[in-house]
Structure 1
């Protein structure tokens, strides 16, 4: 089976559906998730780069969708993938309700450093996660690059009292991550650092490994251009990997499961349970964790769900233009996808 293909633009536009799905709680400052679903010969693919991404960056998301729908994925080496709960930057009183949506998960990723909130808000949220999930659960925090090195050092010192598995992207740049790792060690703060945006949004994702800026990497299929491309990044970095999602529908989550299932080693629960954050899905049987894990199974997209969640005509036009712009980027760069 070929691993490099770029369908004609007319073929993509003819096979796309655009949906808008409300969220249970605000996430990344949005209340609805828009996505393009592509129906190809190998199955369904999802194209859903966040709205602020320019075509050059968003084109990798289209490459991932084409891989899923026109090519397919590598063979798995495991049949079950452990999954974490994801807790948005909600008030502490809402934590129990969020965690309850993630059946059997014993790891939680907690959003911190939210714009307009304080460290006290973060401390209260993380403390409540620890209380709800118990002393044996794993708790990790994700700052999305929201802290300076000094702020991260201060915050992680305070948050570490709740026992952190690691801190995901505490600072924005690779250089800051490297400086923070040194500062944490010097101050005796035992919190490993994971790189997310410094991998998926970087022109050079391997800089993290060269500068020893992280203890592990967080990889997402769509921003890296597909499962094969993500596997290549993980291999080149030589660091433990955590597979995460980008607030995907079940179609996008299935691609994440394909990546997690194909990794030679998988030491940590993956952030692939986020369909639970959506108030609706395109699949008749949504891909949500059961007993804290996801099994490898097909995702059957429901035509009725596509119709019920269909975006209004102006948003469909907007996404068609975006697909065209990203298609042009892929065609001009290499005319192909995959690796």
Structure 2
């Protein structure tokens, strides 16, 4: 990766070719087999089953800015061709609110008054910290604040406290890591859902969550390869309505991908296409895992598949 992102500087993934095309299984390495099995269900669905019909052929995407120094912001934004929206990581361990303010200010200055700026705390604040931080960042005309706190009860309280500021609250981890992904909507704890395909088990399951929740959705990635990003694009394309730019431009964070430059899923004029992506042999050779690591992933895939079979 070009920049360390949430503690990750190299992303690992398994690519599979099914009858419907290439697909991806890429749970984070620290996830349990039980959690990772849902990601495998998504990979199987995308590679082996026909997907819902698309309603659009291009998806507008946001730039993603890791928790870097403010001086690095402009160079990072330049990697996202034509993006009108930026998501900025905040609440990084070891940093201060002043660092977040400086970073978001730099993004706002680079994007101009017509750009859209959203921030993502990944659940790192408590309620009081979240309220204080949102006040400090409000001057930058935030589109929304993503996952300011970890729990649904905390999200609901933050949403109540900042409602007068007209800054929406979005939920990510409270959807994709929850036993019940609809609990956050029932609790009135969020205005927007951030949806990732693999953690929810596939395009159809994710569509069902969005429909049942009745809230606007932002489709986002989990630092996927171009093949995983194409899965997210398929979901975004199938939504009945899509009011927000999606977090599917993260291919720009990689120094290498599994495709060639011509077919990599990265933003052009602020959007990505909706298409099936094939890996490139040369690109795969360049990023191939060691034999030991390959076997680690194949063992994990077998265990997760056994869990899916056992669950019926």
TM-score, L = length of structure 2? 0.98
Q: Please name the residue that 1:311 is paired with.
A: 289
Count of aligned residue pairs for this structure pair = 310
Q: SS of 1:34's equivalent?
A: coil
Q: Using the alignment, how far apart are the partners of 1:301 and 1:321 within structure 2?
A: 22
1:127-142 superposed matches below 5 A: 127-142=105-120
Give the gaps of 5 or more residues in structure 2.
Answer: none
Q: Please name the residue that 1:257 is paired with.
A: 233
Q: Please name the residue that 2:94 is paired with.
A: 116
Q: Using the alignment, how far apart are the partners of 1:30 and 1:250 within structure 2?
A: 17
Q: Please name the residue that 1:88 is paired with.
A: 66
Q: Please name the residue that 1:98 is paired with.
A: 76
Per-residue deviation, residues 243-294 of structure 1 (Å, max 9, x unmatched): 0000011000000000000000100000000000011111122011111011
Q: Using the alignment, how far apart are the partners of 2:177 and 2:148 within structure 1?
A: 15
Q: Please name the residue that 1:42 is paired with.
A: 20
Q: SS of 2:47's equivalent?
A: helix
Q: Segments of 4+ in structure 1 off by > 2 A?
A: none
Q: Please name the residue that 1:75 is paired with.
A: 53
1:223-262 superposed matches below 5 A: 223-262=199-238
Give the gaps of 5 or more residues in structure 1.
Answer: 1-22, 335-339
Q: SS of 2:12's equivalent?
A: strand
Match of 1:153 among 131, 138, 150: 131
Q: SS of 2:11's equivalent?
A: strand
Q: SS of 1:101's equivalent?
A: coil
Are 2:22 and 2:276, in contact at CA under 8 Å, matched by a contact in 1? no
Q: Using the alignment, how far apart are the partners of 2:67 and 2:51 within structure 1?
A: 34
Q: Using the alignment, how far apart are the partners of 2:46 and 2:286 within structure 1?
A: 24
1:190, distance to aligned residue in structure 2 (A)? 2.5
TM-score, L = length of structure 1? 0.90
Per-residue deviation, residues 137-168 of structure 1 (Å, max 9, x unmatched): 00000000000010000000000110100000
Are 2:39 and 2:200, in contact at CA under 8 Å, matched by a contact in 1? yes
Q: Which structure shows the higher strand fraction?
A: 1
Per-residue deviation, residues 58-97 of structure 1 (Å, max 9, x unmatched): 1111111111111131110111211000001111111011
Note if 1:28 corresponds to 2:6.
yes
Q: Please name the residue that 2:167 is paired with.
A: 191
Aligned-pair RMSD on alpha carbons? Answer: 0.8
